[in-house]
Structure 1
């Protein structure tokens, strides 16, 4: 079926009134629109299959309002016990909604049970305390792709089924230049005194050493732990829904499902400019749909992961069957990213109908790994994406962090980019493979870079197919 120009503009996220902004190269845009295929029916069927297989939770129609259990709306009273009591009673009665009503409520970590929908109503805010001791005792968690016994995530669930966080209210994590974020140590936007003691480097190095040496997870415990917890982390869970909430000022990654099956993230708004403020990082999950979300973050907007180095290979679970659809990336280090904690591999990813643009956006579509991470990255599809302003538009980097220092050769197989418009970029491509393992298996169709300032970086690349790829109005070849 022939795609109309108007419908494709909508799919690309360009309103008809916005086309004038591209008028200096209108012929290029028209060419893309007239020749667009968007991957065709096979892509559509694959996406439909993933959506169908991603099961959303259902709940009994009964509400448990936290103020009925003693919570107080004053942002001073600690409502932790009241919230947990409401969750426990709701679970006891077969599940339903635990409701945060209008107001400002202070809480410590929240642990969900099966069949619980934590519902934050509009004009409600949950404020999380920033005292690290409140996030103990330690729980089974993952930090930068390595398992350990660490601080509880702010909202956590372990081996639960049918759970949700919904509502148009706000989750406030309390991350700031005075709380949580200084543990990062040196950072590009450092506005804090860097401590030699309260610094994640020491714990991070020790944890990675334990993982490399095969220390059991139950023994990966630290008396002095400076690894910041993620905001929302369901772990080994099934049928998870995170919908509509605004998530602000996270200590670390915002939404981080790990080893979960059937995860739907829909309509959330992520606003956090701290270090490692990734928006949504599914790790080693199967059947994930990220839909209609807005990311305004200090790090990657979406980063797909599957474990780091030896620990990722020990767990050996890929992240697979992922749909990213109709998302907006306002601010972030990277738009749609795979890696770097990717040792378990990624397959069957479909990203489409997204817009991203920022003077601070470093990379648009990015794969990052190395020969210590390794990872098989296959069946990756991107279509109908508009990038406004970016530094490097398309990045495949086998030399991230440690570079070529290990025996685990990364593999990219069957990566397809269709119908991509980049309005302004420093570089169109940064493609860095190895001489012994070049980048291959990549196809680009109908890709236009309207204004590019500098030459691309292309090292050790082979077997890349370019069809109707233009840079600054000229056909581009590698």
Structure 2
């Protein structure tokens, strides 16, 4: 059954508040056993919308669902952002909890109205979509533009199907695209994502993440394209990523971090093309907890033991730089993201907790180069076990902001298998090309 919010008083003129009319249509459909809520012919201005089971919210190509510019239009009962010290991102535009069989679709636009929310880390800014403990979610054939914070947050949910979504989130900090925390059975295909933070993120604040399939997507980010981890209290496994492209990514293309205990394993990434990506591959196994650091889980209140990372295959990667990569890149005015001395493939772990069984195969990397030894410090820090030496400065994601090797720096691996690695610099670089330290190669590996 189709329900039209205009039948409940929606004006669809972009200036009148249509929240109540849209919600009445959803509630009517829900109590009728389910149905389609169709927005057509106009701009529907709204605050928080609460989706429910067996509801399809369809934004027609003739319509735009526009987020209210008033933060008071957004409910305070839409769960919370799970990053420590980011309560200003708790509110959201479209919310569902404990719902089954929900859909967002329609070839139209959902606009987060980011211009009306300050670009600040301490002012309330609503996320666009948050689904908590939901099952059988379908998100397809939509344009998700200008979120004031993250575009999506899928939390503790399963059977998520996302296809043909165009995301542009470049107005504010925290411009994430698709974020999954504690989710399983995830299928993402045919999406284009542009933003100021992680384009696609897999994390585990507690529940495991598994059975993930990502294919035929394009990514462009001021920060990272694909991020697996940081939040890794639970496990992340059985992840398959293929046939994707990345362009103008000022930090990492493929970023895997196990930093809060837990386990990351059985990751297969293949057939990725990268153009102008500062760090094509970044992998880190460590432990961290800083009470004032935005990068720690709200659920974590102590430094965890170092977890485990194993059985990762990254293959068929073509990464190439243009002269654009001679520049230092910023997020907005003064937030440095990357530069030639920062770039390169970097894989690291604490020496007593090595990464196990890592395969790098068929990788071609054309790096901008041009770095002189006088541009970087002599000493390069190790990854420190923070349970043992919590006050020693440790090598991690944002530190150091330089690389000691021009192409690849790999430390503390047991079972490294490399095959057919080709690297060259466009401009002469004074650093060593490839550095391996405390690495045990597998029996059938090539030498580096």
Look up the match of 1:188: none
Look up the match of 1:53: none
Among candidates 247, 250, 257, match of residue 361 of structure 1: 250
Question: Alpha-carbon deviations, 1:327-379, whole Å to 9, x = none?
Answer: 01133411111122221120100000000111x43111111242xx1220011
Among candidates 457, 463, 469, match of residue 421 of structure 2: 469
CA distance in 2, matches of 1:145, 1:282: 17
Question: Alpha-carbon deviations, 1:200-247, whole Å to 9, x = none?
Answer: xxxxxxxxxxxxxxxxxxxxxxxxxx5544211111001001111111
Look up the match of 1:84: 23
Say yes or no: does 1:451 pair with 2:367: yes
Say yes or no: does 1:258 pair with 2:147: no
Q: Given that residues 388 and 423 in structure 1 are in contact (C-alpha distance below 8 angstroms), is that contact kept between their aligned partners in structure 2?
A: yes
Say yes or no: does 1:383 pair with 2:270: yes
Look up the match of 2:173: 275
Look up the match of 1:312: none
Among candidates 287, 306, 309, match of residue 409 of structure 1: 306
CA distance in 2, matches of 1:245, 1:466: 40
Q: By percentage of residues, which structure has more helix?
A: 1
Look up the match of 2:396: none
SS at match of 1:246: strand
Say yes or no: does 1:333 pair with 2:333: no
- Distance apart, 1:72 and its partner CA: 0.6
CA distance in 1, matches of 2:269, 2:243: 9
* TM-aligned CA distance change 1:477 to 1:124, over 3 Å: farther
Kindly report which structure 2 residues correspond to 1:1-400, keeping only aligned pairs within 5 A, or say none: 62-144=1-83, 151-176=90-115, 178-182=116-120, 184=121, 199=122, 226=123, 228-273=125-170, 274-307=172-205, 316-358=206-248, 360-370=249-259, 373-398=260-285
Q: By percentage of residues, which structure has more strand?
A: 2
Provide structure 1 residue ranges, at least 5 long, that are not aligned to the other structure.
1-61, 185-198, 200-225, 308-315
Question: Alpha-carbon deviations, 1:404-450, whole Å to 9, x = none?
Answer: 99342131111001211112275441112112212332111211113
TM-score by length of 1: 0.71
Provide structure 2 residue ranges, at least 5 long, that are not aligned to the other structure.
291-295, 297-301, 326-339, 370-405, 426-432, 435-445
Mean Cα displacement is larger for which, 295-304 or 139-148? 139-148
Q: How many residues align?
A: 364
CA distance in 1, matches of 2:416, 2:346: 14
CA distance in 2, matches of 1:445, 1:337: 20
Look up the match of 2:351: 435
Q: Given that residues 141 and 149 in structure 1 are in contact (C-alpha distance below 8 angstroms), is that contact kept between their aligned partners in structure 2?
A: no
- Distance apart, 1:142 and its partner CA: 3.8
CA distance in 1, matches of 2:368, 2:109: 39
SS at match of 2:6: helix
Look up the match of 2:383: none
* TM-aligned CA distance change 1:227 to 1:247, over 3 Å: same
SS at match of 2:80: strand
Instruction: Supply the RMSD in Å over aligned alpha carbons.
Output: 2.6
CA distance in 1, matches of 2:158, 2:100: 10
The answer to which structure, 1 or 2, has the higher relative contact order (CA under 8 A, 6+ apart) is: 1
* TM-aligned CA distance change 1:300 to 1:150, over 3 Å: closer
Q: Given that residues 394 and 429 in structure 1 are in contact (C-alpha distance below 8 angstroms), is that contact kept between their aligned partners in structure 2?
A: yes
CA distance in 2, matches of 1:376, 1:297: 28
TM-score by length of 2: 0.76
Look up the match of 2:428: none
* TM-aligned CA distance change 1:376 to 1:401, over 3 Å: closer
- Distance apart, 1:96 and its partner CA: 1.6
* TM-aligned CA distance change 1:180 to 1:159, over 3 Å: farther
SS at match of 1:154: strand
CA distance in 2, matches of 1:73, 1:135: 19
